[in-house]
Structure 1
Amino acid sequence: MEILKEIINSPSVFKEIYGDLAKPGVQQAGKALGTILGLGNTALWPIAMMNERSRIKLETNLEKYREKLESVPEDEICEVAPEIGVPIAEKLAYVTDSELSDMYAELLAQASIKTKAGAAHPSFVNVISNMSPDEAILLKSVRKLVNGIPFIEVRLNNKNKKEWSTLDPIRPGIGCLKDLHEPLNIHAYINNFEGIGFFNVRHDIYMVGDNIYEPLETYAKSEFSAFAKPEEGIELKFNRGKIEITPLALMFMNACFEESAK
């Protein structure tokens, strides 16, 4: 009942969002967020609630957060550290993309649970802020690829002139390309993840196993066949490589993607 009293005494916007204070997860959310409400831009939540679009965004995102806590016992809930809770709470007031809002809500939920809060690093908030929805989809899709991501580099090799040119620097073996809004940006997404230390692109090693690279090479042959001119010594060549998923990336994914998505 003490937690319920704290929620009742918290800013009215919090009560307006959740309505029924007896709803599962509300008491947990109140305990976790109690120290950050009113800090930073969360003080502007009442103003945001006056705008229909802003209200819907905030209610939707905080509802996601509540649902993630509803099965967690209250004695396992901790107060969210302001350095991670405040910036996430600010994002929840305006972020609309479901992939990104899910990640914010999950990171905030992790920071609200005693046994998981240590893995919810404050820097992860900025990582999500600089991530596109497509990159969120890409990262989620490779979570189970613990051995890495196979890729091929497609080259056009001129045997007579002993020279070559690159047609595709990285053709990754991932199944999410069809789900991306801008699949042609895949190289930029991979470069971004390499830059922040999530991916390590290795051209010097490749994965060993059956039918790992063959589908990539078969598809590339059909796509780039017009470039090959065997009679002139010009042929397609595929160099095999591997993208390593770093421990930092695994830590981030465990903190920002819910267990059921693993």
Structure 2
Amino acid sequence: MGSDDAKPGNVSDAINAAANLAKAVPIYDDALKPIASETGKALGTVGRVVNVCLAPVRGLVWSAEYVENWVETRVSKKLENEPEENIQTPDLAIAGPIIESLKFHGQKPEISEMFASLLASSMMKNKASSTHPSFVDKIRLMSAFDAQVFAYLAKQQTTSTTNIRRKHKVFTGETELYRFCNEDLLTLALGKGHKGDEVFRAVQASIETLVGLGLIVARDDATLTAPQRIKDYEKSEKSDWFSEFVNRGEVNGFTFSLKRSSVLLTQVGQNFSKSVFR
């Protein structure tokens, strides 16, 4: 192949090349096909129930043609202001897994938009070097709520969070009841349908997931000292989310207190955020 053949084409050619991968990446139908007839006979009613329950899942899988059209539309939109000379054919190690993932995760807008932005970033000459193939798996392992939480944290870069601690009047030592929450994150969880204690637990679980993905560092022992962050602590601690704990007094022998903590983006998290948010 000559040197000219290796050069990327114009913007539409590069986008179409990425979109056309949808036809080349197979959907593994075996995992989603109805239960085989012999198995269905053996399982009887249970098999039929499972089959009915899986039917909506099968309907959510995007076809290759749908993925192709969606990618072409969304990536074109994200690259519409880029100079043509800055557009290149994406790395197959990034584009291929994205196409495959969209078939199964595309119906979640928070996730599909991150995939589209990541693909667009991999096609930009000035951003491709910081767009790592592992970013595909990081998106794939996120829930829609995780994506929202990370979007908030990425915008903040450093985030003031609060831990709720409790101490028993008889037993020594304090324990952490909930960790790494603030009122904005709790409001996000409430909007996702979580209620009661699950609001706090959902935020903590999402923070732990993002820590596991290497995107953030959550620090129990670090308090942010910038003036704006101190104001954030004070505002959050006065909110109903936290004040109700410290104002409730003793409950079943427990008293409650607040401890300031923080969440920071890692370098990987910074690169990731620049690649997936456009």
TM-score (ref. length: structure 2): 0.69
User: Is 1:130 the counterpart of 2:130 in the alignment?
Assistant: no
Which stretch shows the higher mean deviation, 233-242 or 136-145?
233-242
* CA distance, structure 2, for counterparts of residue 100 and residue 181 of structure 1: 18
Q: For residues 18-48 of structure 1, what are the alpha-carbon distances to aligned partners after superposition, in whole Å with 9 as ceiling and x for unaligned?
A: xxxxxx9634413x53895764339x9xxxx
Question: What is the distance in 2 between the residues matched to 1:28 and 1:71?
Answer: 15
The structure with the largest helix share of the pair is 2
Rate the CA distance shift 1:174–1:86 in 2: closer, same or farther, 3 A: same
Query: Match for residue 113 of structure 2?
Result: 102
- One-letter amino acid of the counterpart of residue 135, structure 1: D
Q: CA deviation at 1:253?
A: 0.5
Could you tell me how far apart the structure 2 residues matched to 1:151 and 1:26 are?
44
By how many angstroms is 1:189 displaced? Answer: 0.9
1:199 counterpart (204, 210, 216):
216
Relative to 1, partners in 2 of residues 1:140 and 1:34: Cα closer, same or farther, differing over 3 Å? closer
Query: Corresponding residue for 1:63?
Result: 73
The worse-fitting range, judged by mean Cα deviation, of 179-188 and 118-127 is 179-188
How large is the Cα RMSD of the aligned pairs?
A: 3.5
Residues in 1 aligned to 2:61 and 2:150: alpha-carbon distance in whole angstroms: 32
**Which deviates more, 237-246 or 66-75?**
66-75
**Aligned partner letter, 1:203:** D
Matched, 1:41 2:26: yes
1:113 is aligned to 2:124: yes
1:167 counterpart residue number: 177
CA shift for structure 1 position 74: 2.3
Contact 2:15 2:72 in 1 (8 A): no
- 1:255 aligned partner: 275
Conservation of the 8 A alpha-carbon contact between 1:29 and 1:69: no
Q: Secondary structure at the match of 2:232?
A: coil
- 2:47 aligns with none
SS in 2 for 1:41: coil
* Partner residue, 2:35: none
- Aligned-pair distance for 1:60? 3.0
SS in 1 for 2:26: helix
Task: Give yes or no for contact 2:98–2:119 (8 Å, CA) kept in 1.
Answer: yes
| Equivalent residue number for residue 91 of structure 2 | 81
- Asked if 2 retains the 8 angstrom alpha-carbon contact of 1:34 and 1:79, the reply is no
Alignment pair present for 1:222 and 2:244 = yes
Report the 3-state secondary structure (helix = DSSP H, G, I; strand = E; otherwise coil) of the residue aligned with 2:156: coil
> What code does the residue aligned with 2:210 have?
F
Q: 2:202 aligns with which of 164, 180, 185?
A: 185
Is 2:184 the partner of 1:149? no
Work out the number of aligned pairs and report it: 228
Once the two structures are TM-superposed, the CA of residue 235 in structure 1 deviates from its matched residue by 3.2
Conserved in 1, the CA contact under 8 Å of 2:161 and 2:182? yes
Q: Which runs of 5+ in 2 are unaligned?
A: 30-59
Distance change (3 Å), C-alpha of 1:73 and 1:181: farther
* Cα offsets for 1:160-179 (capped at 9, x unmatched): 65443433233235354444
After the TM superposition, which of the residue ranges 217-226 and 242-251 deviates more from structure 2?
A: 217-226
Q: Give 3-state SS (helix, strand or coil) of 1:237's partner.
A: strand
Give CA deviations for 1:136-195 in whole Å, capped at 9, x if unaligned: 11111122212x211222122345654434332332353544444554421111111111
User: Match for residue 257 of structure 2?
Assistant: 237
Q: Quick one: which amino acid aligns to residue 104 of structure 1?
A: F
Cα distance in 2, alignment partners of residues 116 and 130 from structure 1: 23
Structure 1 residue 117 displacement after superposition: 1.1
